[in-house]
């Protein structure tokens, strides 16, 4: 069977979507679901900083949507936050430095709830982890997975709120992260008893390299749908 590579796009039902925020903006995105069965759980992807080229197509999120519906029975929703552009298009509005994006997070969660998608998990990367921690503690959300959390805009009060909720947090922290490295992350997340912090040797903030993408996707599946963990490295229909 062919090996799954960085360019592999596995079968899924993919549809372009639009999401409307409570302050009247239209956000563009995509929903990918398993091809011939209902999803077991749902990832709501929150992308890196748009002022530094973050968008719904940032590579780890794109590869999650390309692989996880087929490999792990997950629905994967990606979207551009306000003012952000990608090949899918440009979402209305302007970058709000993580403040007005609260409406974007709420709208994405509401969209998934309205579609009756199961077991909603936030998947934030860098800036997206700040959005997840600050604005993602919603009754419809089961938990959050954080890639390269800088804990810059999000602070102790946000962590304390997650601690009180009891909802799971998984933080994947690169050994050579530019903003927060594993030892610091363990100290900061210690105030959330249910948080799991995994340091990833050799990795950097942007998770460049297929080896690191596979680590990330496996840890997502281990948490969200462990029945499909570990992920295969080959796919007969590639």
User: What distance in Å separates the CA atoms of residue 171 and residue 12, rounded to the nearest whole number?
Assistant: 27
pLDDT for 183 beyond 50: yes
pLDDT for 111 beyond 80: yes
- Does residue 143 form part of some domain? yes
- Does residue 130 form part of some domain? yes
- Percent of the chain, pLDDT > 90? 98
pLDDT tens digits, 74-85: 999 999 999 999
pLDDT for 90 beyond 50: yes
Domain count for the chain: 1
CA angle 228, 113, 103 (to 5 degrees): 115
- Does residue 214 form part of some domain? yes
Give pLDDT, residue 77. 99
| Kind of pairing between the strands at 13-20 and 74-79 | unpaired
pLDDT tens digits, 37-60: 999 999 999 999 999 999 999 999
Give pLDDT, residue 1. 84
* CATH code, domain with 185: 3.40.50.1820
The token duo for 218 is 């496996």
pLDDT tens digits, 191-236: 999 999 999 999 999 999 999 999 999 999 999 999 999 999 999 8
162 in helix, strand or coil? helix
User: What distance in Å separates the CA atoms of residue 233 and residue 210, rounded to the nearest whole number?
Assistant: 11
Torsion-angle region of residue 126: left (phi > 0), alpha (psi -120 to 50) or beta?
A: left
What does the radius of gyration of the chain's CA atoms come to, in whole angstroms? 16
Q: Are 110 and 79 in contact (CB under 8 A)?
A: no
- Does residue 217 form part of some domain? yes
Q: Structural domain of residue 89, as residue ranges?
A: 13-228
User: What distance in Å separates the CA atoms of residue 132 and residue 115, rounded to the nearest whole number?
Assistant: 20
User: What distance in Å separates the CA atoms of residue 42 and residue 49, rounded to the nearest whole number?
Assistant: 22
Average pLDDT along the chain: 98
């Amino acid at each position: 069977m062919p090996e799954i590579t960085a360019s592999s796009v596995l079968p899924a039902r993919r549809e372009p979507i639009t999401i409307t925020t409570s302050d009247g903006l239209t956000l563009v995105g995509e929903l990918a679901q398993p091809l011939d069965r209902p999803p077991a759980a749902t990832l709501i992807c929150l992308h890196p900083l748009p002022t530094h080229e973050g968008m719904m197509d940032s590579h780890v999120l794109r590869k999650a949507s390309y692989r996880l519906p087929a490999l792990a029975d997950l629905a994967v929703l990606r979207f551009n936050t306000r003012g952000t552009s990608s090949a899918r298009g440009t979402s209305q509005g302007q970058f709000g430095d993580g403040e007005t994006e609260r409406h974007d997070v709420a709208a994405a969660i509401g969209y998934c709830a309205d579609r009756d998608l199961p077991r909603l998990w936030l998947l934030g990367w860098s800036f997206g982890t700040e959005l997840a921690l600050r604005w993602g503690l919603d009754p419809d959300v089961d938990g959050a997975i954080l890639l390269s959390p800088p804990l810059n805009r999000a602070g102790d009060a946000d962590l304390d709120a997650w601690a009180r909720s009891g909802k799971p947090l998984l933080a994947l922290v690169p050994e050579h992260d530019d903003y927060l490295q594993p030892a610091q992350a363990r100290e900061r997340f210690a105030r959330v008893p249910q948080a799991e912090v995994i340091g990833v040797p050799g990795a950097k903030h942007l998770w460049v390299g297929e080896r690191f993408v596979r680590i990330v996707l496996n840890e997502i599946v281990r948490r969200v749908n462990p029945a499909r963990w570990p992920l295969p490295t080959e796919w007969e229909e590639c």
